[in-house]
A = this chain, B = another copy of it.
């Protein structure tokens, strides 16, 4: 029965075709400005076809959000091989930053936009991608605790605190709430604030 296998393969390829066209359009034009019709035009199919492969636009965005997590975790890996656990943590923070600046649209989808979470909610599923990425952070924080870098013992709570902080800079920056500082000083200021955070948790956590 090679025929059903071929069909499944074709179906998978079509999903990929849609996803790649969508991703390309989204990343170069921004998520808000790309419509289902644009994507359909790009792959030379009718808009209705897309709905044979994705329940709605949120599902499509959720699928791209997943690609984003794959990419982010890939970029985290080199950091995880550093010897010192605290260096590891700092490098993860820097990479979170860098990922956001280099892939602002993807980051937005992964951590700011409502759409992908709405897709999750209406299937009442769990956010596995977020969980596994957060898992990397927790492990790293636990290593810091075990190595005696941090006195505080609850790795999960500490991880939330660290994530929130790093995410805060990023979200404020991407959503233009730091534009009240002159453009020249902006990045420098963020660097300084991040360094300050690092030094503060090194001393105080």
Contact = CB atoms under 8 A, between A and B. Distances in A.
Interface of A: 32, 111-114, 117, 121, 126-127, 130-131, 134, 152, 154, 156-158, 160-161, 163-169, 171-172, 175-180, 189-190, 192-194, 196-197, 199-205
Given A111-B177, A117-B176, A175-B114, A163 B157 contact: no
Prevailing SS type, chain A contact patch? helix
Contacts of A203: 203-204
Contacts of A134: 180
A117 B194 CA distance: 24
A114 B176 contact: yes
19 contacts: A121-B176, A127-B177, A134-B180, A152-B200, A157-B193, A157-B196, A158-B196, A160-B193, A161-B193, A161-B197, A163-B172, A165-B197, A167-B168, A167-B171, A168-B171, A171-B171, A199-B204, A200-B204, A204-B205
Contacts of A32: 114
Contacts of A111: 172, 175, 177
A189 B131 CA distance: 15
A168 B163 contact: yes
Nearest to A199: B204
Contact of A152 (B166, B178, B196, B205): B196
Name, among A160, A164, A167, the residue most crowded by chain B CB atoms within 10 Å (CB to CB): A164
A166 B45 CA distance: 46
Contact of A161 (B117, B158, B176, B196): B196
B160 A190 contact: yes
A62 to B, nearest CB: 13
Contacts of A176: 114, 117, 121
A113 B162 CA distance: 23
A189 B168 contact: no
A172 B161 contact: no
